[in-house]
Amino acid sequence: VVVAKLNMAELAWGATTQNATYGACRNPWDLDRIPGGSSGGSGAALAARYCEASLGTDTGASVRIPASLNGVVGIRPTFGAISNRGVHPVAYTQDTVGPMAPLAVDVARLTEVLICADPEDPYSLSGHGRPATSLIGTPIGGLRIGLPSTFFFDDIDPAVASRIDDFLAWLTASGAVVVPVDDFGQAGGFEHWTRIVQCEGAALHQDRIRESPDDFSPDVLARISAGLDVSAIDLARSLDWRERYRHRLDEVFNDVDVIVTPVVPIDVPFADGLDSRAQTQALGRITYPWALHAGPTLTLPIGFHQESGLPVGVALSAGRWDEARLFQVAAAYQRETTWHDVLPPLDPPAQENADE
């Protein structure tokens, strides 16, 4: 049952959902803060329990960031697993549709329904993974959990790091084995993701950029227009880098079942203006390496920031077509914790002239 259409960042370009055209969306946990983006309305509606599940799109982090900032579960699936037919594109070779819900079990059910090869989507793929719900209820003891030794934890907010440490302690107590993961080139993700997405976005909007630039907000226009100035040689290098990077990650996932990283390295930002490029870069800095991965990454709520009280999420990544492994871990965690049951302190607005 479709309840509503939800707000989002303009053209799905941005991580704050401070939409200059349709108005800003705020975070139910603190109305002075952003809900993340670009699928901010999807995350906010779930946090406020306006619906039981929602859909977002994830090109760079547009499901994972709002899921984390609103305290719900969201997944960027294996690229090509869920059809993009009917979705207005941002970047054809990076766009994914991602289910979201408070409960990992519900996200798994929705993912299982949506994963299907679509002959009408040229980027749709036929996969060979297990059904998304197939490992739910299976103990996680013995799983090999990879923990990167570089990049992802650089300059992380101490309170975010503390929550991730608690999650790693839970994994160990549950019988999983945490092992270090060597650098796999993740620091290059920001540069190459940005170049690919800006070029594909510019190609999609080239005529509108030149003929009616006032149709765009200044932030979004600047992002998309940057793709017009990228040389074909640089784009070719980035496309080649992405393929080699994906092969390196395939090798990593031959040795570990899941990799654990922060979703975002900072606390939930305040909504202090229109969608700024600086906020988007700060939120997306460590999400882009997983956007370039061909496999799935899931956001799982793991508690609240010790100072602000805002939600904190952790990113779980697995090999191609291994969504089931992520849901196995996420559902096991939610069976033993209650973070997902906590609701934001939503106070109804004061009613004037209530008697009237």
- Given this model, what pLDDT does residue 58 score? 98
Q: Looking at residues 184-207, what average pLDDT do you find?
A: 97
pLDDT at residue 356, rounded to an integer: 41
Q: Starting from the edge strand earliest in sequence, which strands make up the sheet with 258-262, in order?
A: 54-58, 96-101, 73-76, 297-304, 311-317, 258-262, 144-148, 177-181
pLDDT score at 355? 44
Alpha carbon distance 27, 344 (integer Å): 9
Q: What is the pLDDT of residues 35-51, one digit of tens each?
A: 999 999 999 999 999 99
Query: pLDDT over 70 for what percent of the chain?
Result: 96
Predicted pLDDT of residue 273? 56
Statement: residue 269 has pLDDT above 50: yes
Question: What token pair was written down for 214?
Answer: 């006032």
Mean pLDDT of the chain: 94
Residue length of the chain:
356
Letter for the amino acid at 127? Answer: G
Q: What is the DSSP string of 1-12?
A: --------SGGG
Q: How confident is the model over 195-219, as a mean pLDDT?
A: 95
Residues 66/37, Cβ–Cβ less than 8 Å? yes
**245 or 128: which carries more pLDDT confidence?**
245
User: What gap in Å lies between CA 295 and CA 320, rounded to an integer?
Assistant: 4
Tell me the per-residue pLDDT of 288-345, one tens digit each, with 9 for 90 and over: 999 999 999 999 999 999 999 999 999 999 999 999 999 999 999 999 999 999 999 8
What percent of the chain shows pLDDT beyond 90? 88
Q: What mean pLDDT is predicted for residues 141-158? A: 96
CA distances from 169 to 38, 145, 297 (A): 32, 12, 20
Asked if the model's pLDDT at residue 276 lies above 80, the reply is no
- For residues 203-222, average pLDDT: 94
26: exposed, middle or buried (Cβ count in 10 Å: 0-12, 13-18, 19+): middle
